Amino acid sequence: MKTSSTWLLLVLTLPTENATARMRFYRALKAKGCGVLRDGVYLLPDSAPHEAMLRDLADAIAASGGTAHLLRLPGLDAAQEDEFRTLFDRAGEYETFVRTLAEARKTVAGQPAAGLTRLLRRLRKDYETIQAIDYFPGEAATRAEAAWQDFVGLVDTVLAPGEPHRAEGAILRRLPDAYQGRLWATRRRMWVDRVASAWLIRRFIDTQSRFLWLTSPEACPEDAVGFDFDGAAFTHVGECVTFEVLLASFGFDDDPALLRLGEIVHALDVGGPAAPEAAGFEAVMAGTRERVENDDQLLEQMSPVLDALYTHFAASAKESSGRRS
């Protein structure tokens, strides 16, 4: 038997003489996905964030010359519960999004990396907007998630062909002395994880490193240290991308600046919460990738960008540490 939920009800009257304020309040209610019981009566599932948001909105409405009353009420019975939940049905929005993905798939082939990253960023924002107000996910949400993952996978095959599958097991500590003056090999046409890993290798692990850009993982020489492909010495392990695996393997996982960089690489490579700097780094990466002729030039031009981010994060970590002490 379905348990009745508790609901928040906002009953409001907006000032008629302030059209700008009216529009702002309507947009705020729509952005939060409020259910509309009738004109001036809005509903949301009960939660602390929803209550705080509606209280702030009620105060703003009162300050603008309107009236607003926030009420908490339990669902009457299962029939009313179903009726209220229907107000939050996002099936139509998900279906529209899935159709948009289907059309976008037709444009992926032949697009430059910069265009693909902009497309992926825009569609991810659209998808997350729907998810944020889908308080009762159902089959439509499941179908949209499958379509979204298929689309992301398609883009990944264009931006980063041969993307490794994650391996299971522990990340072993490695002795840096055994990795000096080595030849390191990864897939050509580097994307975020590979270019950050190559920078990390040259900057912190093996300052005399040489790099080989492979047309396929099978072309990796036996004496080379492979990274970021299936079967490589360093590749995805569990939830960690190659950059994070290298940090843990060589004992740099206590460096707060490198960990901040790891958050950016992780988000751009496999998804997840994105650091504020991620979008900017991705744009620079995509533009540089289109502009240079080969991966040597790509690493040369992206290294100062990563140096600058590292310096900024290190200074921020030092400042935060100073405030705590």
When pLDDT is cut at 50, 70 and 90, the band that residue 109 belongs to is confident
Give the span between the Cα atoms of 221 and 236, in whole angstroms: 20
Which of 154, 34, 147 lies closest to 94 in space, CA to CA? 147
Is the entire prediction scored with pTM above 0.75?
no
Question: What's the pLDDT score for residue 161?
Answer: 65
Q: Give percent above pLDDT 90 in the chain.
A: 64
pLDDT at 49 over 60: yes
pLDDT at 54 over 90: yes
28-44 pLDDT per residue, tens: 999 999 999 998 999 99
CA distances, 93 to each of 98, 248, 317 (Å): 9, 42, 42
When pLDDT is cut at 50, 70 and 90, the band that residue 325 belongs to is low
> What number of other Cβ atoms are within 10 A of residue 38's Cβ?
7
Which of 95, 160, 156, 86 lies closest to 127 in space, CA to CA? 95
Question: What's the pLDDT score for residue 275?
Answer: 80
Helix axes 278-291, 295-324, angle to 10 degrees: 160
Locate 82 and state its tokens.
């179903």
Q: Does domain 6-86 have CATH number 3.30.70.930?
A: yes
How many alpha carbons fall within 13 Å on the CB side of residue 226? 20
Question: What's the pLDDT score for residue 206?
Answer: 97
The per-residue pLDDT of the chain, averaged, comes to 90
Query: Hey, where are the domains in the chain?
Result: 6-86, 91-159, 176-324
Give the span between the Cα atoms of 291 and 303, in whole angstroms: 15
When pLDDT is cut at 50, 70 and 90, the band that residue 1 belongs to is very low
